[in-house]
Structures are given as C-alpha cells and as structure tokens.
C-alpha cells in the first residue's frame, strides 16, 4: 500500500516527534478553547432516531412509496454503504427522501440502510445529549463523503474558483499534497453539474481557519493518525490537502500525530485555542470498523478535558463528518447548490455553559461551527459558508449560569486503552 511514496508533496515524515511548544492559548469572548472531535459517517437518524424530544423516526420511506420500520442494529456493521454524491442524489430523490433503497450496499440488501444503532451501544453519546446539548438539524455542507467534509470543517467550503467546488474524492490516495502525481479531483457547479476528474491536484490554496487564526495569533493544532500509516491519517488529515500547511513550518508544529497527543497537551496544560481531533479508523464510528470503541474514544478525550483546569473555559463539539450512506428522513433546507446542503449528522455541544439536556431544533451547518470560532475570537469571515450559516451561540449556551462542574463519563474502554492502541493501518477505501 504505497500511501506516501511518489507523492506530489514529497511524502510524509515517519513521526511528528515530541510536541513542540505553542504560545499560550488566547482567551476569547466566551471560551479559551474550542475542541472539535470529528467522528465518521453517521446520519442523525442512525444514531439518535429514538432519542426523546429529538426529530427522529422509527420508519423509513422506500422509492416505491411504501414505508418500512427502521431496524435496530449494533454500532459495528460489517458493511460500509456507498456515500458519494451520486448515492446522495439517489437517497435525496428531489427532496422526497425515499430513494435510499436504491443505494449500493455491496452484497447486502439496500434495505439494510434503514437502521438505527442500539442506544445501549452509543450510551455515552446519549449521556452527553442528556447533560448538554444535542443538535438535531445540523446539516453536512455537501451531499458527499469524507474528503470534502473534513475540508468543510477547516474552511467552510471547497470552492476552487467563483463557479465550481470540489465534490467526492480524489482519484488516488492519500487525499492531499502527498497523493501521487496525476491525482485529480471532481468538481460540481452552482447548478449541480458534476465534472468528473476535472478538478485540480488535491494540494489546495484556498484560505482556511489556519489563516485567520494565525492572523490574530490564536493557537491551533490538528491531531490526527500518522499520515501514510493508518486509514485516518491517510484520508482524513484535512491540512495535508492545504499547500501552505503541508509545505510550511506548521506541518511539524501545528499538525501532530498520533491523535492521542491530545491527551499530552491536555495533561500539560498546553491545549491550544482551537483543536481538531481526528480518530483512528477503529475508533471513528465508521461503518465497517471492527469494534465499538468510538463512544469511549470521544468520552475519554472529554473526560481528560473535564478533569483538567481547561474545563471551565472550553467547548467541545462532537460532530460526524458525513451521512455515510444511512437513511435520514429530514430533507436539507433551502435550494441545493454545489451539491449541498447535505443530510443531517449529529452534533453534541459540551461545555460548562451549555444548556442542560437541551435539543437545538434550528437549522445549522458546518459553517456554523466555523462561525462560532470566528465569533469567539473576532476573526474575519472566511467568506465561505460561514457567511450564510446560522450561529448557535445564543441557542446552545447560557452564559448567565456559573460554570457547571464536570461529571466523568462511564466508558467501556479506558484512556490507557487508546494511548497504547496500535494504529489500525486499515486498507484504504473511498468513504
């Protein structure tokens, strides 16, 4: 599996080494730390279909007009549905949300996409929702997969010029500047015309939060599995696709692996102002992963923050990057342009100032997360989806209340389990 050889960016280093020091975190208007935990490939209905008070469902619509019951299933699923833009169009079916049974599910029946995870399997997520804030109308920026989704969480979009945006996946992996020469991307226009393999090499030059954070001397770090070794590091390291970072000094200071380095920064009191935390494949909730460790992984990062002095000045946002091919019953709001908005994904907002057991029903998108960071540190707008995205600042938080104490989350797997876990080195796929 040649993931780093012959790359456009010259390959990746074998290890990020010891964590270099960053300047102290900068106190913002509301928070000193924003931590974004990015999990994988689940719709809202897939994880929270039966959560009390949320906009879930126990039934699904088929393309022939019939209705079937959603089947309860374990978090671990042996199959990984197709979740590219073409599959999204099938499920969306011009807003009818009834074409998921037309999506390719490999050797399995597409009716298997009409399922929800046994709540006992994701109990930590439900516990977080009951104690903090759950968003039931958070929409993925684009109806597509993980490559653009991870870009959207650092940039708010993937526009390569004024008329076209990147959609779906690069033709070769890893997804970024380290891809083999000749790798191309696919574009989509404002009116949703797909231009296969007509896009640039995936070493991109648009602005991201890195630019605006650096401009205000606000520290940031991207914690991810090692590039070129594991599934997560090879495909989900968003800054490997940003030329200014991949080929600049911040590649060895602000991008760090393994992802468990986040525990080191928390323990040392050096957590930066903004953090993205990307899991190993096995801990990502991704369909086809061979275990149930995702909820424990998320919980252990939150537990570490909750037990640290950083807790009183932190908000943790847990979000799933894309829909993963699973059924969801809520059509995205507004007109569809550049392939989005996409389907709903869950979002949890965890903070001592988060409302208690509150479900946000308003419509939000990934640009809303970008906007929260911009609002907190008075950053200039990136001019992407952060412009149109609604702010959830006044919806999710009650700053009139004193900072709530933290109650540790009970988990099946310990922090030590993740700190000593070997990288999965999962074979590459395109999801």
End-to-end Cα separation, the chain, in angstroms: 17
**Residue 230's pLDDT is what?**
86
Residue 15 pLDDT: 45
pLDDT at position 424 is: 86
Q: Who contacts 294 (Cβ-Cβ below 8 Å, separation ≥6)?
A: 39, 75, 279, 283, 284, 285
Domains delineated in the chain: 33-60+117-419 (3.40.720.10)
Q: Please list the rounded mean pLDDT of every run of 10 residues in the chain (431 residues).
A: 36 59 97 98 98 98 98 90 97 98 94 97 98 99 98 98 97 96 98 98 98 98 92 95 98 97 98 98 91 96 98 98 98 97 98 98 98 98 98 98 96 98 71 53
Paired strand residues for 7: 180
Rounded to two decimals, the pTM is 0.96
**Gap between the Cα atoms of 40 and 408, Å rounded:** 23
H helix or E strand, kind and range, residue 199? strand 194-199
Q: Which of 111, 152, 138 is nearest to 396 (CA)?
A: 138
pLDDT recorded at residue 358: 98
Cβ-count burial 336-359 (b if 16+ within 10 Å, e if not): bebbbbbbbbbbbbbbbbbbeebb
């Amino acid at each position: 599996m040649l993931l780093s050889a012959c790359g456009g960016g010259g390959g990746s280093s074998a290890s990020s080494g010891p964590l270099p020091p960053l300047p102290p975190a900068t106190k913002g208007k509301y928070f000193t730390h924003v931590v974004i935990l990015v999990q994988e490939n689940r719709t809202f209905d897939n994880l929270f279909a039966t959560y009390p008070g949320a906009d879930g469902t126990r039934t699904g619509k088929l393309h022939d007009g019939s209705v079937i019951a959603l089947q309860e299933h374990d978090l671990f699923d042996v199959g990984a549905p197709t979740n590219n833009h073409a599959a999204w169009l099938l499920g969306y079916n011009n807003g009818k949300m009834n074409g998921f049974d037309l999506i390719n599910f490999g050797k399995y029946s597409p009716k298997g996409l009409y399922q929800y995870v046994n709540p006992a399997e994701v109990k930590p997520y439900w516990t977080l929702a009951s104690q903090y804030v759950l968003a039931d109308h958070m929409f993925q920026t684009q109806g597509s997969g993980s490559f653009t989704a991870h870009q959207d969480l650092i940039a708010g979009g993937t526009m390569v010029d004024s008329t076209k945006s990147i959609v779906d996946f690069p033709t070769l992996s890893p997804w970024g500047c380290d891809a083999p020469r000749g790798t191309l991307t696919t574009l989509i226009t404002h009116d949703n015309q797909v231009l296969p393999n007509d896009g640039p090499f995936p070493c991109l030059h648009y602005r991201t939060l890195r630019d605006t954070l650096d401009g205000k001397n606000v520290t940031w770090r991207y914690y991810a599995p090692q590039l070129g070794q594991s599934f997560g590091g090879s495909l989900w390291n968003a800054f490997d696709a940003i030329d200014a970072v991949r080929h600049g000094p911040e590649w060895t200071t602000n991008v760090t692996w393994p992802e468990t380095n986040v525990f080191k920064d928390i323990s040392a009191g050096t957590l930066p102002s903004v953090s993205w935390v990307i899991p190993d494949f096995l801990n990502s909730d991704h369909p086809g992963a061979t275990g149930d460790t995702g909820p424990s992984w998320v919980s252990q990062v939150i537990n570490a923050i909750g037990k640290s002095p950083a807790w009183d000045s932190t908000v943790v946002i847990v979000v799933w990057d894309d829909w993963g091919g699973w059924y969801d019953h809520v059509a995205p709001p507004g007109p569809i342009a550049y392939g989005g908005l996409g389907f709903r994904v869950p979002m949890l907002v965890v903070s001592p100032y988060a409302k208690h057991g509150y479900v946000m029903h308003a419509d939000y998108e990934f640009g809303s997360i970008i906007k929260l960071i911009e609002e907190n540190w008075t950053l200039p707008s990136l001019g992407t989806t952060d412009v149109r995205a609604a702010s959830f600042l006044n919806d999710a938080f009650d700053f009139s209340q004193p900072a709530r104490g933290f109650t540790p989350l009970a988990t099946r797997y310990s922090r030590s389990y993740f700190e000593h876990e070997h990288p999965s080195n999962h074979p590459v796929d395109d999801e």
